[in-house]
A and B are shown apart, each in its own frame.
Chain A
Amino acid sequence: MRTLNIAIRYTIVTTILLGIVYPLVVTGLAQLLMRDKANGQLIVRDGQVVGSALIGQGFTSPRYFHSRPSAAGNGYDATSSGGSNLAQSNQALVTRIDGDVAAWQKINPGQPVPIGLVTTSASGLDPDLSPADALYQVPMIAAARHLPEATVRSLVESHIQGRQFGFLGEPRVNVLELNLALDDLQEK
């Protein structure tokens, strides 16, 4: 009984310290020192939040670079993150990819589609494309916006983020930032 008494009191005391005080201290420090990052790096245009630099969005118009396919809800649902969880041996995966490949090859006949552009990410909210995924879409964007391909291509190249510190992770392009830059380009 004495142990039970200790256990109950101990659980309450430590819940207050580690379950409430600790996260509030970290929240306070983070808000004080790095408010923008602690709040999700929201991008504001004309006084309105257009998205987060970290959370991918689905794009459907040929005027915008498309993100990777997404298994989060109905696509890029940021309250329902997750992957497709389809196995490589699942017919449904192969059928889905074959369909996406056929659609992309209508735009770039005969050119194999980069793997990133036809696979869903783990979170369903991948904010990035690989450089190959982005460059593959240049002809589509250039045609829809009546821009020279070279202009769009150099915009993509200027948005490639290299490996962090030169060796960590993979090179990538942030889709939302790239698309906002596209809009800016034409407003000028």
Chain B
Amino acid sequence: MTANGWLQFVVYFIVLLVCIRPLGIYMARLFNGELHFLRPIENLIYRASGVRTDEEMNWREYAGAMLIFSFVSLVLTYLIERLQHVLPWNPQHLPAVGALLAWNTAASFTTNTNWQAYSNDVTMSYFTQMAGLAYHNFFSAAVGIAVAIALVRGIARRESKTIGNFWVDATRTCLYILVPLCIVFALALVSQGVIQNLHPYTIAHTPEHQTQTIAQGPVASQEVIKELGTNGGGFFSANSSHPFENPTPFSNFIEMFLIFLIGGALTVTLGRMTGSPGHGWAVFACMSILFAAGFAACYWAESQPNPALHHVAQQTSSLQAGGNMEGKETRFGIAHSALFATITTDASCGAVNSMHDSFTPLGGMIPLINIMLGEIIFGGVGSGLYGMLIYVVLSVFIAGLMVGRTPEYLGKKIESYDVKMTMLYVLIFPLVILTLTAVSVLSHAGLSSLANNGPHGFTEILYAYVSTAGNNGSAFAGLNANTPWYNVSTGFNVLVGRFLMMIPMLALAGNLARKKSIPPSPGTFPVNTPLFTILLTGVILIVGALTFFPALSLGPILEHLLLQHGTLFS
């Protein structure tokens, strides 16, 4: 670890801190219906699709609209993939995508996961990337934000049957937040060297008289929404480590900034919309503590030399980054790789600028833990906030038990129905992950995809299901996931991880909106204090540790101990 590495972390955090407040306030005004400057385009979309903007929805209608829209857009993307050979912008004449892979990809992009079981340098046409995949980058983000806002409305409203209009929330998210930021930052990325064209691949004749085929494409427009919407699906296989997706340290900085921007700003929006700005900052503080701890651990682990190597200079100096450089880019070194890995898994982004599969055992465990905690450290856009609010409700409930009073959260009594929905959310996640991992390690179909053996092989499988259930999409990429078993099971997993968790969430929102507001009393546990931040952090760590510690000890922890004793696996 170096002082310069920590300086980059500190600068990153300060820039984020400065930018989230104005954006958070802007979003609160937007969702309270105070901003209208893009009315003409909004109305065009509403009129063309028959949306009635004055219609408020209860939680069942809201969930229904969200599910039906997700289904329809999933089907359209599936069709685009299957028909790409007859659609425009396919200069490489790529054939139609196979049925199982097309299903897996459509499901994974619809759910903000962007798990990619294919080698995308030579699989998806420019048209599929733009209209099929980048489209979902916008809308899976917009759906996540809409659901989070619906929950915040549920907390803020009193004795109300409705929580907003899904179509209006999704449209306004795209038009007022995502598109303007995307156009500005896409051009910023192009200025660093991210490509943006529709040309066929270039054939280069190298100084050693070889030929090299250089892939091209509309990358910047997709790159920017991939980070801003915490989607993470790369234009190229190598994702954000590819020099055309992420050419310089500054482009890397921009991408990391975009991943946390909306998730961070939503904590401010939460505070504003519920009339308790201090609560928003208490949640932000908890996220920041977990973020810093994750980065510190990952950065330390990746700076360590591999004890199995000899006659190799692995130490840090002014001439090299040193540490574990397998699967890392020279321009990013250790600090930017560890920081990106922490951020992309704190959020549900899943973009990578280094290969997590080649991380040290403990360094690779940090991304895994981040996703296991539910991606609530800033988190996926929207999903991070509502995932965190689940833990908030749980913390308030536990605090209530400790003092023996009915728990309250911002004036709403937390009752048995609310706690049931909360626990449903908490339990579905480990249930699908641990079950599918267990089935995979016991079956030939699961084991035949491994790239590494021993405890690391177990971690590869565990990571695949944690990543897909968490809608992250990053991978221990050695695992060959483009097999019938993994395409079907991970495709199922992303849908469970998205929709089975959103539905209890919306039910909770609907139930909270219905309740009366009661004034705070001396027995109310305040949710805007440092004490609350500590309690919340503790609950997150305990729930996460109790659930997944046994699995972690079979994977990365065991691998670390064996590697320190010189045990290798062939």
Contacts and interface: CB of A to CB of B under 8 A. Distances in A.
Contacts of B456: 87, 89-90
Interface in A73-88: 76-88
Interface string B334-351: 001100000000000000
B128 to A, nearest CB: 10
Contacts of A168: 8, 249-250, 252-253, 336
Nearest to A26: B221
Interface string A145-178: 0000000000000000001110111111000100
Interface stretch (B200-208, B373-381, B404-412, B501-509): B200-208
A80 B120 CA distance: 8
Nearest to B352: A122
Interface in B229-285: 236-238, 241-244, 247-250, 252-253
A101 B306 CA distance: 14
B322 interface: yes
B132, B196, B214 pick with most chain A CB within 10 angstroms: B196
A94 B568 contact: yes
Contacts of B182: 22, 26
Given A79-B213, A83-B327, A87-B456, A39 B197 contact: yes
- Give the size range of B's interface with the partner: 35 or more
Interface in A49-71: 49-52, 54-61, 64, 68
Interface stretch (B20-28, B134-142, B466-474, B517-525): B134-142
Given A40-B202, A122-B328, A165-B250, A91 B321 contact: no
Contacts of B213: 77-79
A29 B454 CA distance: 51
A8 B51 CA distance: 12
B243 A112 contact: no
A121 B330 CA distance: 8
Contact of B313 (A77, A114, A179): A114
A88 B331 contact: no
B122 interface: yes
Contacts of B563: 88-89
Interface string B173-195: 01000010011001100111111
Nearest to A168: B249
Please indicate which of the listed interface residues B174, B216, B311, B324 has the most CB atoms of chain A within 10 Å of its own CB.
B311
Contacts of A170: 249, 320-321, 330-333, 336
A78 B213 CA distance: 6
B478 interface: yes
A93 interface: yes
A61 to B, nearest CB: 6
B326 A84 contact: yes
B324 A85 contact: no
A85 B478 contact: yes
Nearest to B252: A169
A87 B138 contact: no
A92 B570 contact: yes
A86 B247 contact: no
B207 A169 contact: no
B50 interface: yes
Nearest to A102: B311
Given A6-B51, A85-B478, A48 B252 contact: no
Interface of A: 2-15, 17-20, 22-23, 25-27, 29-31, 33-34, 37-42, 48-52, 54-61, 64, 68, 72, 76-94, 97-98, 101, 105, 112-116, 118-133, 135, 163-165, 167-172, 176, 179-180, 183
Rank and list the top 6 A-B pairs by shortest CB-CB distance, nearest first.
Answer: A169-B249, A85-B478, A122-B241, A19-B131, A81-B238, A170-B333
Given A78-B212, A94-B568, 17 more contacts: A10-B51, A18-B135, A19-B134, A26-B186, A26-B221, A30-B187, A40-B216, A50-B207, A51-B212, A57-B206, A89-B361, A89-B454, A98-B310, A114-B319, A116-B321, A132-B320, A169-B331
14 contacts: A7-B68, A7-B73, A13-B49, A27-B196, A64-B207, A77-B212, A84-B358, A86-B358, A87-B357, A89-B563, A90-B452, A113-B311, A123-B242, A172-B331
